[in-house]
């Protein structure tokens, strides 16, 4: 269900800011960014800070690896918007074929064994959370992930468990491939800072 407050902004200042950003960027501001302006004191600022920390803060994972995790988690959550958005960002920092193959089947994709181990854990966490137990975390650690790497991967999956659901619930408009590319450039430059 598309909410007019998210489409146009929930106050005069936000309406003007959404229009200005859209005009300067030469494209409609994606709905993910529009949501960040919605009740900033309740949702936007906190969600923006968490997203910035998970996706751009210090981590043993590269930006490309984190964006790929977000893309794959989005696929498991059946969110085409987030697959397109985060796949486009990942493809700016790694080969597009790697992104596409990992999104299709990470087990056979040309990505590191460390990343495959993280994605195997995240797949269980996302698709069968009731089956997840301490043994799965031990297996990921035994496969070479550090505690920090596993913790950071879990934060990304948890974050995109939420993001994909509100993207679908709010019926985010689907950008064109060219718009995803432009938005990816902006996300690489600016990050997710509130």
**Is the C-alpha dihedral spanning 2, 161, 49, 94 positive or negative?**
negative
- Phi, psi (deg, nearest 5) at residue 61: -95, 140
Q: In this predicted model, what pLDDT tens digit does every residue of 103-148 receive, in sequence order?
A: 999 999 999 999 999 999 999 999 999 999 999 999 999 999 999 9
Domains of the chain: 44-190 (1.20.1290.10)
Q: Which two tokens stand for residue 16?
A: 């003007």
8 with 22: CB under 8 angstroms? Answer: no
pTM for the full model?
A: 0.87
Q: Is 191 left (phi over 0), alpha (psi -120 to 50) or beta?
A: left
- pLDDT per residue as tens digits for the range 30-86: 777 767 766 667 677 888 899 999 999 999 999 999 999 999 999 999 999 999 999
SS3 sequence of 3-46: CHHHHHCCCHHHHHHHHHHHHHHCCCCCHHHHHHCCCHHHHHHH
With CA atoms as reference, report the closest residue to 69 among 138, 158, 140: 158
């Amino acid at each position: 269900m598309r909410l007019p407050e998210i489409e146009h902004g929930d106050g005069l200042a936000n309406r003007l800011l959404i229009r200005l950003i859209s005009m300067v960027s030469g494209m409609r501001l994606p709905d993910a960014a529009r949501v960040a302006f919605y009740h900033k004191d309740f949702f936007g600022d906190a969600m923006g800070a968490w997203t910035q920390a998970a996706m751009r803060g210090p981590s043993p994972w590269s930006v490309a690896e984190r964006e790929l995790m977000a893309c794959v988690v989005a696929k498991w959550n059946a969110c085409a918007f987030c697959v397109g958005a985060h796949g486009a960002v990942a493809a700016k920092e790694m080969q597009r074929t790697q992104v596409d193959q990992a999104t299709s089947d990470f087990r056979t994709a040309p990505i590191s064994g460390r990343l495959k181990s993280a994605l195997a854990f995240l797949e269980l966490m996302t698709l069968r959370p009731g089956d997840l137990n301490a043994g799965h975390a031990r297996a990921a650690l035994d496969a070479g992930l550090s505690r920090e790497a596993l913790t950071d991967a879990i934060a990304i999956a948890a974050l995109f468990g939420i993001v994909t659901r509100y993207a679908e619930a709010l019926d985010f408009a689907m950008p064109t491939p060219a718009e995803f590319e432009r938005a990816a450039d902006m996300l690489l430059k600016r990050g997710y800072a509130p």
